[in-house]
Amino acid sequence: MSSPANDSAAAALAATTLKFLRQYPPFEQMEEQAAQFLAASLDLCYFPKGTVILAPDQSTPPALHIIQRGTVQVVPFGAEHGGDAEPLSLGPGESFSVSALLEQRAVMAPYTATADTFCYELAAEKFPELLNRSPVFREFATRYLASMLRESRRLIKLNFTSTTGEQQAMSRTLRSLITRAPVTCPPERPIGEALRSMQESKVGSMLIAGSDGRPLGILTRHDVLDRVALAQHDLTRPISDVMTPDPLTLPAEDSAYDAALLIADRGIRHIPVCDGNRVIGVVTERDLFALQRISVRAINRTISAAQTIDELCSAAKDIHKLARSMLGQGVAAEQLTLIISTLNDALVRQVLTIEGEEFDLDGLRWCWLAFGSEGRYEQTISTDQDNGLIFDAGDEQPDAARERLIPFALAVNRALDRCGFPLCQGNIMGSNPQWCLSLAEWRRQFESWIANTNPQALLNAVIFFDFRAVHGEEALARKLRSDLSQLAQDGKQFQRQLAGYALESRPPLGIISDFVTESDGKFRGTIDLKKNGARLFTDAARLLALATGVAHTNTAERLRQAGASLQIPDKEIESITEAFFFLQTLRLRSQMEPEATAENANRVDPAQLNEVDRRILKESFRQARKLQSRVALDYQL
């Protein structure tokens, strides 16, 4: 039984501790009872300079640490192994080991006292009680410190990627780099015919092969300038006159690294690849460059230089590789989806350019439109086509102009399908005459949707109001957006219908359990993060943008700009957008899993998430609920 003196001393110590805690976040805002519980539960421990307080090779931390005096240094994985990550110093009032306690694991980096240090310690067994007692601390733990956890993971993955990614790419066999059959001709083929074949096939080199497939020579575009054009060579002569005989070749099982060495050593640009004596393709300097540095700039350059759909198919795969790499490096979902959408835009523009050369579109002013996630700059990895055309036929009748544009649009849709963007199952594509319209026709179409009350009209409005220009006469799209802005602002009944649509899907938050998941079937226990997650934000953002005249189509920008007009506090908008992008991050992770399919690409099983991500997911859905509550209040629904 304790004495009154001991009780008094303990109370005085707790009061001193509480006074200290109240100087620092999140303890300065912590609920009084929770703060008193924490202060009474802390022990003060001393760590001499140089002491490793926590290390990755230890088990779950025995306590939450709050620095009372001194300095603790965290040495991230990348810095410890020669990377460019800087060590982080923690001082009085700062906490550590929170994420490890949440996830019941060891810390990911060592924490070392760099001066004589005193730390308050809360025993690990009391940590869950603190989370339950204090919503303020729970939010701090799951949202603020979660960013530290993701940064730690980023450093680990970044170090791994930087040391192994390029090596793995350059170890690939040349056979795996071949994306198309070689364009060949016999040595007796007239030069003029061979050049026409190169032009039609849109290749940079012609392989001259024997009847057995053995490479006898090669003629590149560079050779054509010197040996044919400038030399004014007779085009009826056989190509053997101007070819480079006995070209340097490599076997199919050699590596990309071997090809890079040969190119560097001999100063050549094209290497025929052989399976035995038979040529099976050509690897170019550009192919190897793409392997060595898959970057936004490199992919953009590859797309701009592409002359065939096959080359763009290869670039589309590189976009996916880049997205996977950037996600692994911790790039935020907002930036990542924008990068993906921007590169996809460049690819679509090049498809339009390549295919446009095959059709007579003279006299037509047209613009390719993107709808849906592409229209919002929010494309993830798993995405199909949603596009259309707007045109000005001039003196030509709209139906006649449409007849000229439809075959072109069909070729573009099929080419995009080859590049990994599946045809839209709902046929929302430029090749559908219903979505290949003049400016006046589009305006009438939107007017009918705004005036109509049937569900299909509302669904169409939801899809098509996210349009933006991708390529062509962008002034047409700007004029349409300007016309629609006023129509939507004036259409109060239409806004109310959109509000009802935005409230149809509710955040999957449970009353007894944390989440409401699929109860049966093959997706039992999962949540569709597109239908029951991202949509909650995109629908509300679209409504707020149309109501306030915001022209931007991106969800976050719509929320930010509309929020300013509606005087919604910046912190509230920031929390909502952070929640939206966390869901986007989970979707991207899911889509990059090896077992991802079109059916499950947007699904997540909350039970499989770590404690931190599960708590942030719950908070994200709470933010969606707050956003929907605002919509319901504004429109009295």
Enter the tokens of residue 330: 């911790």
Q: What confidence tens digit (pLDDT) does each residue in 387-439 have?
A: 999 999 888 899 999 999 999 999 999 999 999 899 998 899 999 999 999 99
Query: Can you tell me the distance from the alpha carbon of 470 to that of 416, in angstroms, rounded to the nearest whole number?
Result: 14
Enter the tokens of residue 382: 């798993």
The pLDDT score that the predictor gives to residue 156 is 33
> Does residue 28 carry a pLDDT above 70?
yes
Q: What confidence tens digit (pLDDT) does each residue in 454-505 have?
A: 777 788 888 899 999 999 999 999 999 998 888 888 888 889 999 999 999 9
Q: What confidence tens digit (pLDDT) does each residue in 181-238 have?
A: 899 999 999 999 999 999 888 888 999 999 999 999 999 988 888 898 888 889 999 9
Helices (runs of H) and strands (runs of E) counted in the chain: 25, 21
What's at 214, amino acid-wise?
R
What whole-number percentage of the chain has pLDDT above 70?
88
The pLDDT score that the predictor gives to residue 143 is 61
Enter the tokens of residue 348: 């679509």
Q: What confidence tens digit (pLDDT) does each residue in 232-253 have?
A: 889 999 999 999 999 999 999 8
> Does residue 146 carry a pLDDT above 70?
no
Cα maximum dimension of the chain: 113
The pLDDT score that the predictor gives to residue 148 is 42
- Which of 122-131, 376-385, 485-494, 597-606 bottoms out in mean pLDDT, i.e. has the lowest? 376-385
Query: Are the beta carbons of 424 and 386 closer than 8 angstroms?
Result: yes
The pLDDT score that the predictor gives to residue 355 is 95
Enter the tokens of residue 277: 């004596």
The pLDDT score that the predictor gives to residue 77 is 41
Enter the tokens of residue 52: 């490793």
Enter the tokens of residue 419: 């590049």
Band of the pLDDT at 163, cuts 50, 70, 90?
very low
The pTM of this model reads: 0.58
Query: Can you tell me the distance from the alpha carbon of 231 to that of 495, in angstroms, rounded to the nearest whole number?
Result: 70
The pLDDT score that the predictor gives to residue 512 is 67
Residue 365: strand pairing partners: 392
Band of the pLDDT at 4, cuts 50, 70, 90?
low
DSSP conformation class of 522: T
CB atoms near residue 557 (< 10 Å)? 18
Query: Are the beta carbons of 585 and 573 closer than 8 angstroms?
Result: no
Query: Are the beta carbons of 373 and 391 closer than 8 angstroms?
Result: no
Band of the pLDDT at 598, cuts 50, 70, 90?
confident
Highest mean pLDDT among 519-528, 553-562, 578-587, 610-619: 553-562
Band of the pLDDT at 26, cuts 50, 70, 90?
confident
The pLDDT score that the predictor gives to residue 58 is 85
- Residues 438-454 have a mean pLDDT of 89
Reported as type and span, the H/E element at residue 217 is strand 215-220
Burial of 629 (0-12, 13-18, 19+ CB in 10 A): exposed
> Does residue 105 carry a pLDDT above 50?
yes
Query: Are the beta carbons of 94 and 88 closer than 8 angstroms?
Result: no
Would you list the domain boundaries of the chain? Answer: 13-163, 174-292, 296-490, 498-634
CATH 3.30.460.10 fits 296-490, yes or no: yes
Query: Can you tell me the distance from the alpha carbon of 488 to that of 420, in angstroms, rounded to the nearest whole number?
Result: 35
Residue 100's contacts (CB-CB under 8 Å, 6 or more residues apart) are: 54, 60, 61, 106, 107, 108
CATH 3.10.580.10 fits 174-292, yes or no: yes
Q: What confidence tens digit (pLDDT) does each residue in 315-325 have?
A: 998 888 888 77
Band of the pLDDT at 295, cuts 50, 70, 90?
low
Q: What confidence tens digit (pLDDT) does each residue in 338-360 have?
A: 888 888 999 999 999 999 999 98
The pLDDT score that the predictor gives to residue 82 is 39
- Domain 13-163 is classified in which CATH homologous superfamily? Jelly Rolls (2.60.120.10)
The pLDDT score that the predictor gives to residue 152 is 36
Burial of 115 (0-12, 13-18, 19+ CB in 10 A): middle
- Which of 158-167, 473-482, 569-578 bottoms out in mean pLDDT, i.e. has the lowest? 158-167
CB atoms near residue 301 (< 10 Å)? 16
> Does residue 302 carry a pLDDT above 80?
yes
Band of the pLDDT at 384, cuts 50, 70, 90?
confident
> Does residue 513 carry a pLDDT above 80?
no
Q: How far is CA 550 from the centre of its chain?
A: 24
Query: Can you tell me the distance from the alpha carbon of 356 to that of 350, in angstroms, rounded to the nearest whole number?
Result: 10
Query: Are the beta carbons of 236 and 191 closer than 8 angstroms?
Result: yes
> Does residue 45 carry a pLDDT above 70?
yes
Enter the tokens of residue 549: 């005249």
Phi-psi region of 372 (alpha: psi -120 to 50; beta: other; left: phi over 0): left
